[in-house]
Structure 1
Amino acid sequence: MLETNEILNHEKRIGNVPGINIGHRFYSRAEMVAVGFHSHWLNGIDYMGLSYSKMYSNYSFPLAVAIVLSGMYEDDLDNAEDVIYTGQGGQNLTGNKRQIRDQKMERGNLALKNCIEQGVPVRVVRGHESATSYCGKLYTYDGLYKVIQYWAEKGISGFTVFKFRLRRIEGQSLLTTNQVQFIYGRVPKSVSEIRGLVCEDIAGGQEDIPIPATNLVDDPPVAPIGFTYCKFIKVARGVKLPPNANGCDCKESCITSRTCSCAKLNGSDFPYVQRDGGRLIEAKDVVYECGPNCGCGVGCVNRTSQRGIKYRLEVFRTPKKGWAVRSWDFIPSGAPVCEYTGILARTEDLDHVSENNYIFDIDCLQTIRGIGGRERRSRDASLPANNSLDVVDDRRSESVPEFCIDACSTGNIARFINHSCEPNLFVQCVLSSHHDIKLARVVLFAAENIPPLQELTYDYGYALDSVYGPDGKIKQMPCFCGATECRKRLF
């Protein structure tokens, strides 16, 4: 097709290509070449050379027109609206794709540098692994970005690389793809390797693993402020926790579900398997874990969610969604990620509080009943007598959760996890010390296998037009999750 001049849009062009809108999907690099959208089979940077100087006499060449982000470079960083892109050259293309020599300011690198000085926008395409594509990858056009900065630095492998910072131009359609999943990306091995570090540990040593915060968006960069980190739930004045429940008679560890009373509460079986440190088999109405009065020890599989954070997590800044969370480690499906902590309070006591986006309703009862559009789960677990669903205090407690967790001023890393219409985490109510479902612990579990560096998200569960402001009018908030089936609004 190249030799016979059968390529559509044979001449390269600056900006958008007619007929290819944001969200357009290509099922191979070959398709992009065939329509003249990105003219290289392998190179990540497509640029105009000196031959275009006659056509565009007011520009200096070379000039970049498009880039592909597909995780090939270990030093890339993709925050959706804001990208740190590694220049070309110096890679071991026949081996492990690592950097093996210094990069030079030439060809595509020089073309991106010239885009900064001349204000030329660049088309950005993201590549994802895809089982539905005949080449194993799917490429999505995500709009025009402006190259705003470049610099040279020592990369992860110790060689000089050029870094280019690109920011998405305002006023375009919302992103339609999730963040690219880097195949060859490597997480930092030390604090000195973390780019944009603004806080070494937001937990202040409370967690077993430090939680760094990074900011490559704000100028100057700022750290998360306005809250006190707290690993455990705090109880508000006027809220009384139930007494500790009777525990099982197991010794050291719960092994046999036939004799363990806690297992019987879970439908006569344990909700977890031992693999990978404990994984939840399936989402349930409520999970009953062993508690303070149980005979087993801390290593019991039925205490899986009580062991705290065990993955290396990072809080990072995004252009439109504020702070977000990602993991440096692979997280297997069913693994607990973190508990949602804060101040346990009565919902009615916070009804008058406005602009608090960190209130998590404990809606275990509402989920069991499928109230308010909530997805009903399995109903095979038995409920203790004092938890009978036939007994409801009043009509309000049936439709509105009586208790909530307020993480506005006090909370842990869970307060930074964003909403997504297609999340990779799910919410699970857990009972351990007592058996009152209205006061259940709220734990976030992995809904699928999550690769390193992918943003962690869960569905906030708002029904559209369900949130009202102090003036009694319906409040609306746009959603920037970027999911293919995004509902466009958070509430």
Structure 2
Amino acid sequence: MDGVSGPATQSEPIFDKSRVLDVKPLRTMIPMFPNPPQAPPFVCSSPFGPFPSGFTPFYPFSMGPPGEGRHQDGAAYATPAAAVPLRSFGTPQMGAHFSNGDTDSSRDIHFGDGGFHTVSGRKKRGAYKIPKDAAEKRAERKARKEAAGTEIRKPNLANVVGLPQEQREDGNREIVCFVLMKFDAVRRRLSQLEDSKEASTGLIKRADLKSGNIMMTSGFRTNSRKRIGVVPGVEIGDIFYFRMEMCVLGLHAPSMAGIDYMTVKNDMEDDPLAVSIVSSGGYDDDADDADVLVYTGQGGGNYSNKGKEASDQKLERGNLALERSARRGNQIRVIRGIRDTTNPSLKIYVYDGLYTIQDSWIDRAKSGASLFKYRMVRLPGQFPAFGTWQSVLKWKESVSSRPGLILPDLTSGAESLPVALVNDIDDVRGPPYFTYLRSVKYSKSLNLSEPTYGCNCHSSCAAGDLNCSCIRKNSGDFPYTANGVLVSRKPMVYECGPSCPCFTNCKNRVSQSGLKVRLEVFKTKDRGWGLRSWDPIRSGTFICEFAGEVLDKAKYDRDESSDCSDYVFDTSRAFDNSFRWNYDPPLVGEDAVGDLSEDFDITPLVINAKDSGNVARFMNHSCSPNVLWQPTVYEQDGESLIHIAFFAMRHIAPMTELTYDYGISQSENRRKRCLCGSPKCKGFFG
């Protein structure tokens, strides 16, 4: 494409294409500074402002050769710029930004829309003088912290060993899942501290940004080499709840800007090429088509938020990179931002695969400002990530439109949300009959927990309130974040129950609140019936409990001929706890006390869901599961009864099968051949 073009009407001016593209080479747009021996090298990076107050921007990834990529099916291909040498830029150091601005760094470069500038009032050498009002606010925060008698400490990274350098530069699926799990574990703990009453000093803001900073500094990152095309280990359809998650994986480096690009050399000049874009609704993108995206350039007066002065977009930075990519025809990763239907205040980012730019033109915003438009077309043969979301939205509007639907609600109204029964594989009309239970059913002789007393709170239990007996049972921590996400796995989580006088909407009743996501029981190809969700599920979110009849453990062990083993949950089996779901204390400034293993000593409990149970009885085994189980207990009718609650181990995209580790029984007669297909498959389970 030699220029930008588009439809023109009588009311619109005709744009001169040659004038639009008459720009200076990129290398003349970036000032170059000498690096004297006594000074550190100047760090140059793309300006991605504006930034939130109190957060210093950083640019996680140095640029390296793109190398060879791979299609979704595993076939190798050479990226269009594979043989072009790249210009690499350094990465600013982030270790001084843990204490919300309490840094004495003598050199910071701040970036904005107009380029870069040194901090106002700071000399070339020496400390930055804090303005009086900012210093006063900092003193107030410090006084509040001291008055609260607590301090959120800086990370202790002295003994933290991150990923090896080769895994930081190039990942795989296992490494990507590990990094995401590590990121969210730290974020959940920081959120828990932020929620607690003792930490209500304003010291922690945006736990996701702080978690990303910690991850980058401690070396828990991967795919740091910027590249065109596929990112190793990241699959089409993967979802993210925070932009920083994409940063630590190398999917999209800027923490705020919508266009990520790299600079390549050719015979005449340095060219910027776009490597990824995020379409999240901040601009007037046409994003309803699953295979075509009309993307709007960055900058100018097209911001969706009010108060921005209208101005024309400029053919520079990300816009220039997109225009050069249109000429080169290189592949661009596309991430779509979608509103979370279960929580409209949140936005979920969906990796939708590789696109190329087919056309570009200049359009007019409602303000009259000129906008760059790019028509991006999805490469064929890729998994329909965004298309799956669109299908689910249609099914929610009319469940009868779901192909293969047998029953609109398997639970017959027992659950607060309907659970569809679907078979689009064969002619089987449903699983064998069973009685639907919402929770476990104990006989009076099988109360496995010691009697305890509920709390005496008369409103909702508050995080950090040590006067609450239920909080004290949980080692003084509220086990969930403010939005109901489990923070850490424990031998037991103590919840408030019906015997507690606190409000029924108390946030310490998470596992008793019923289904929160739309589930579907479906027929698999070779493993019977399975369970999946129409909604995205965030890591740590409660899914359901395992309902059924509690059996006498000794009697069950003796009767190996029982035909109920396919529907039994047994806590005494051997489980793989090597995945380390919990956070590492040093990463959040805490001392590592004792063994960090999550192989807990759990009270023996056997639940049979063959004749009576809930949707959990359809969840299949996997040696690489995406769901974990957590024992919980709460007071009811003067008794404390143990329940098994299931939580998402990581973010789970819609229509992804939900699986957990069944464990290995001590009795070889009860073991079954495993068909999970995982690279880590042990060959058998149960």
CA distance in 2, matches of 1:315, 1:31: 30
Match for residue 428 of structure 1 among 630, 642, 651 = 630
Alignment of 1:101-250 (within 5 A): 182-185=385-388, 186-187=391-392, 188=395, 189-218=397-426, 220-236=427-443, 238-240=445-447, 245-250=452-457
How far apart are 1:335 and its partner, in Å? 0.9
Match for residue 480 of structure 1 among 675, 679, 683 = 675
Correspondence for 1:489: 684
Of 433-442 and 258-267, more deviation after overlay is shown by 433-442
Change (3 A) 1:29 1:327: closer
Instruction: Say whether the 8 Å CA contact 2:449–2:640 is kept in structure 1.
Output: no
Change (3 A) 1:327 1:233: same
Correspondence for 2:567: 358
Change (3 A) 1:489 1:345: closer
Correspondence for 1:97: 289
Provide Cα deviations, 1:422-451, integer angstroms capped at 9, x if missing partner. Answer: 111101000111799995210000111111
Change (3 A) 1:242 1:34: closer
Change (3 A) 1:210 1:478: same
Provide Cα deviations, 1:245-303, integer angstroms capped at 9, x if missing partner. Answer: 3111212101142221111111111001112xx11111111101112332211111111
Instruction: Say whether the 8 Å CA contact 1:181–1:453 is kept in structure 2.
Output: no
Partner SS, residue 305 of structure 1? helix
Match for residue 264 of structure 1 among 452, 467, 472 = 472
How far apart are 1:485 and its partner, in Å? 2.1
Does residue 406 of structure 1 match 2:614?
no
Provide Cα deviations, 1:285-343, integer angstroms capped at 9, x if missing partner. Answer: 11011123322111111111110111100000001111001111111111110010000
Name structure 1 gaps, 5 residues minimum. Answer: 1-24, 36-68, 72-93, 101-127, 139-178, 379-397, 470-474
Partner SS, residue 273 of structure 1? coil
State percent identity of aligned pairs.
35
Partner SS, residue 635 of structure 2? coil
Partner SS, residue 672 of structure 2? coil
Match for residue 319 of structure 1 among 494, 501, 525 = 525
Partner SS, residue 547 of structure 2? coil
Name structure 2 gaps, 5 residues minimum. Answer: 1-67, 79-234, 238-285, 293-332, 336-350, 355-381, 583-599
CA distance in 1, matches of 2:73, 2:472: 57
How far apart are 1:359 and its partner, in Å? 1.2
Instruction: Say whether the 8 Å CA contact 2:450–2:640 is kept in structure 1.
Output: no
Does residue 254 of structure 1 match 2:454?
no
Partner SS, residue 430 of structure 1? strand
Correspondence for 2:646: 444
Instruction: Say whether the 8 Å CA contact 2:435–2:611 is kept in structure 1.
Output: yes
Provide Cα deviations, 1:115-157, integer angstroms capped at 9, x if missing partner. Answer: xxxxxxxxxxxxx999xxxx9969xxxxxxxxxxxxxxxxxxx
Instruction: Say whether the 8 Å CA contact 1:270–1:302 is kept in structure 2.
Output: yes
Change (3 A) 1:242 1:445: closer
How far apart are 1:456 and its partner, in Å? 0.8
Alignment of 1:333-348 (within 5 A): 333-348=539-554
Correspondence for 2:264: none
CA distance in 2, matches of 1:374, 1:27: 32
Provide Cα deviations, 1:460-485, integer angstroms capped at 9, x if missing partner. Answer: 1216xx3333xxxxx54222212232
Instruction: Say whether the 8 Å CA contact 1:314–1:327 is kept in structure 2.
Output: yes
How far apart are 1:241 and its partner, in Å? 6.6
Instruction: Say whether the 8 Å CA contact 2:575–2:663 is kept in structure 1.
Output: no
CA distance in 2, matches of 1:422, 1:437: 36
Partner SS, residue 415 of structure 1? helix
Provide Cα deviations, 1:388-423, integer angstroms capped at 9, x if missing partner. Answer: xxxxxxxxxx99964311101000000000111111
How far apart are 1:181 and its partner, in Å? 7.7
CA distance in 2, matches of 1:436, 1:362: 24
Partner SS, residue 685 of structure 2? coil
Correspondence for 1:467: 667
Does residue 458 of structure 1 match 2:660?
yes
- TM-score, normalising length from structure 2? 0.40
Partner SS, residue 432 of structure 1? strand
Alignment of 1:281-320 (within 5 A): 281-320=487-526
How far apart are 1:221 and its partner, in Å? 3.1
Of 240-249 and 411-420, more deviation after overlay is shown by 240-249
Instruction: Say whether the 8 Å CA contact 1:362–1:438 is kept in structure 2.
Output: no
Instruction: Say whether the 8 Å CA contact 2:451–2:639 is kept in structure 1.
Output: no
Q: What is the number of equivalent residue pairs in this alignment?
A: 308
Instruction: Say whether the 8 Å CA contact 2:454–2:497 is kept in structure 1.
Output: yes
Change (3 A) 1:347 1:207: same
Give the greater-gyration-radius structure (CA). 2
Counterpart of 2:527 in structure 1: which amino acid? K
Instruction: Say whether the 8 Å CA contact 2:575–2:662 is kept in structure 1.
Output: no
Change (3 A) 1:136 1:70: closer
Instruction: Say whether the 8 Å CA contact 1:242–1:436 is kept in structure 2.
Output: no
Partner SS, residue 344 of structure 1? strand
Does residue 417 of structure 1 match 2:619?
yes
Change (3 A) 1:136 1:214: closer
Instruction: Say whether the 8 Å CA contact 2:541–2:647 is kept in structure 1.
Output: yes
Partner SS, residue 444 of structure 1? strand
Structure with greater proportional helix content? 2
Partner SS, residue 202 of structure 1? coil
Correspondence for 1:52: none
CA distance in 2, matches of 1:339, 1:193: 29
Partner SS, residue 262 of structure 1? helix
Instruction: Say whether the 8 Å CA contact 2:406–2:423 is kept in structure 1.
Output: yes
